[in-house]
A and B are shown apart, each in its own frame.
Chain A
Amino acid sequence: GQQVMQIPQYQHVQEGEDFTTYCNSSTTLSNIQWYKQRPGGHPVFLIQLVKSGEVKKQKRLTFQFGEAKKNSSLHITATQTTDVGTYFCAGKETSGSRLTFGEGTQLTVNP
């Protein structure tokens, strides 16, 4: 079945440093979604990418979808303490109905 792998599992940064998490799928995806889950909270939708090579920005966050639609990345510029949380990617196979979540990257930011 479809597998979505996410690295790194944990990332500790100093406030102001950049952060990147990577997501790789074993199969071609029709779309990929990114979610943020604060400690003790629930996942909150950030963005969806659909097109091959797509790049979207939300303030300090940059999301990319690979040309082959099998990988994606989330980059945060100049992290802040409010960025703390676990970032999940979730991909849907082209032929499937299920959204498969990656294992998430837990980000901690030291002030």
Chain B
Amino acid sequence: DAMVIQNPRYQVTQFGKPVTLSCSQTLNHNVMYWYQQKSSQAPKLLFHYYDKDFNNEADTPDNFQSRRPNTSFCFLDIRSPGLGDAAMYLCATSNTGRRLPYNSPLHFGNGTRLTVT
């Protein structure tokens, strides 16, 4: 089945130690998103790739970076994790056209729960 896959499901990192979360998709969708979700809160968009074009949200800390080497894969790099970065990180995809951008449903992966010790 076509899907969005996130690895690992759980990630523990030390304060200040760089960590990378990965996402892959078999849906062949052109847009990939990274969301941060803290307990009992709404998903918060960090950034997204429209094809190869990177779009950063204005309030996303510089500590967060992303790479999309090809259509199928997208990575979230946290350069120096702080305690406040502990959260669920959700990758999502959508298939959207130039005429009606961002009007398509999001397909989420299972998420990676990040713990910072």
List A residues at the B interface (Cβ < 8 Å): 30-31, 33, 35, 41-45, 48, 50, 88, 90, 92, 97-99, 101-104, 106
Confirm or deny: B41 has a beta carbon within 8 angstroms of a beta carbon on chain A. Answer: yes
CB-based A-B contact count at 8 angstroms: 46
Q: What B residues does A92 contact at CB under 8 A?
A: 102-103
- Interface residue from B42, B105, B109 paired with A42 (Cβ < 8 Å): B109
Known: A31-B103, A42-B90. 20 other contacts (CB 8 A): A30-B103, A42-B108, A42-B109, A43-B43, A43-B106, A44-B108, A45-B105, A48-B103, A48-B105, A88-B42, A88-B43, A97-B55, A97-B101, A98-B45, A99-B102, A99-B106, A101-B42, A103-B42, A104-B42, A106-B40
CA gap between A48 and B100 in the complex, in Å: 14
Q: Which residues of B contact A103 (CB under 8 A)?
A: 41-42
* Total interface residues in chain B, CB < 8 Å: 19
- Are the C-beta atoms of A97 and B102 separated by less than 8 Å? yes
